[in-house]
Amino acid sequence: MPSIDMPIEQLRQYKPSQYREPDFEDFWDSTAADARRQPLNAELIPYNLPARGVECYAVRYDGFGGGRIAGWYLRPASVGRFPGVCVYHGYSGRASRPLESLHLAAQGVCVLSMDCRGQNGQSQDANIYPEGHYLGWMTMGIRDPRTYVYRYVYADALRALELLAGREEVDADRLVVTGLSQGGGISMAVSALSDRPALSLPDVPYLCDFRRGMSIAQAGPYLEIPGFLQAHPHLYEQTIRTLSYFDNVNLASWVRCRTVVLNCLWDDVCPPSTVFAAYNHITSEKQMEVYPFHKHEVPYEHEETKFRLIMDIADE
């Protein structure tokens, strides 16, 4: 199998040591508890989508620590208790739009998508970061894990899942989290920080093995970190310490649900080894779908695999 990275035999064995700080568990216990405790103040605003048998809503809820998070919600128009899917988007993108989720809602699945704060959707980022950062979002607040932007993003994502689970038409025992790239990394983190998901479907996940990603990625947001460190070389250890709290290498062993990961061996944005690094720490039921000739993308065949897996949950 070709790869821009290690040979496939080495990839399957690649399992870098976890590098958790002593307060890692306390940090996430308190952050997750705060995220669940904060009122959602959710609004579902009807949206006129002429789709038979499906209701569509624009969503707004309070972000972790302030601001309003935006997204979309589709549900079957019939009465019942339905499985739910929470969708997180890729870096610098926006939430899945209604037509992009219609194929699931039409099959009796509730779908909630979330705009990451401050990125290319409608979610606000009301947090004040104490100092400057490099172009993009990767280094916002990076001098301290409590001020780092992904603490807020992961907490917002947990709150989105709580919103979905709390809907009266949603069966909270049949929840799925999924996303591409950044969304895949968020899906994996949420699966580690919440016991709600029954199935996790991270596609070419970002936010895995930062130390290797920032060293070998040829494109994409990992490169923002060395860009920051070129200006602040004295902050290297501090930066790695902050990133350690958000690295799925350190979170993956907490994943408890079934997990099916997509990995593409020509991916120069999220190199295959970074995905294996986190995947190999997952101890729950898992499988990896490897595509040797694809880049940073989701092949049609894998979209069909995901659809079948979600339908299996729907039929339980």
Angstrom CA distances, 233 to 155, 208, 225, 227, stand at 29, 22, 11, 10
Q: What is the pLDDT of residue 251?
A: 98
Q: How many domains does the chain have?
A: 1
Burial bucket for residue 286 (CB in 10 Å: 0-12, 13-18, 19+): middle
Mean pLDDT of 201-230: 97
Q: What angle do CA 41, 96, 297 make, to 5 degrees?
A: 140
User: Residues 37-81: pLDDT tens digits?
Assistant: 999 999 999 999 999 999 999 999 999 999 999 999 999 999 999
Q: What is the pLDDT of residue 2?
A: 66
Q: Which domain holds residue 240?
A: 8-314
Find the catalytic residue in 3, 181, 200, 244.
181
Q: What is the pLDDT of residue 316?
A: 81
Angstrom CA distances, 173 to 84, 159, 188, 197, 259, stand at 9, 17, 18, 8, 16
**C-alpha–C-alpha distance, residues 296 and 258, integer Å:** 23
Mean pLDDT of 130-150: 97
Does residue 286 sit within a domain?
yes
Q: What is the pLDDT of residue 39?
A: 98
**pTM of model > 0.75:** yes
Mean pLDDT of 19-37: 98
200 as an active site residue: the answer is no
Mean pLDDT of 253-260: 98
Find the catalytic residue in 133, 281, 294, 296.
296
- Tokens read off for 217: 């990625």
Q: What is the pLDDT of residue 152?
A: 98
For the sheet containing 54-62, what is the strand order? 43-46, 54-62, 68-76, 110-114, 82-88, 170-180, 199-203, 258-264, 286-291
Share of the chain above pLDDT 70, in %: 99
Q: What is the pLDDT of residue 94?
A: 96
**C-alpha–C-alpha distance, residues 40 and 28, integer Å:** 19
296 as an active site residue: the answer is yes
Radius of gyration for the chain, computed over Cα atoms and rounded to the nearest angstrom: 19
Helix (H) or strand (E) holding 289: strand 286-291
Q: What is the pLDDT of residue 3?
A: 77
Does residue 150 sit within a domain?
yes
Mean pLDDT of 173-197: 98
Find the catalytic residue in 247, 267, 273, 294.
267
Q: What is the pLDDT of residue 305?
A: 98
Q: Which residues contact 23 (CB under 8 A, 6 or more apart)?
A: none
User: Residues 234-243: pLDDT tens digits?
Assistant: 999 999 999 9
Give 3-state DSSP helix, strand, coil % of the chain, rounded to 5.
35, 20, 45
Mean pLDDT of 175-183: 98
Q: What is the pLDDT of residue 147?
A: 98
Looking only at the bridges linking them, the beta strands covering 43-46 and 110-114 are unpaired
Does residue 3 sit within a domain?
no
Nearest C-alpha neighbor of 184 from the set 93, 117, 68: 93
- Tokens read off for 30: 């308190």
pLDDT range class, residue 1, cuts 50, 70, 90: low
Q: What angle do CA 69, 313, 261 make, to 5 degrees?
A: 70
Q: What is the pLDDT of residue 70?
A: 98
Q: Which residues contact 308 (CB under 8 A, 6 or more apart)?
A: none
**C-alpha–C-alpha distance, residues 34 and 271, integer Å:** 33
Mean pLDDT of 235-256: 98
Does residue 250 sit within a domain?
yes
Mean pLDDT of 135-146: 97
Does residue 2 sit within a domain?
no
Mean pLDDT of 190-198: 98
Does residue 234 sit within a domain?
yes
* CATH number of the structural domain spanning residue 51: 3.40.50.1820
- Tokens read off for 139: 């280094």
3 as an active site residue: the answer is no
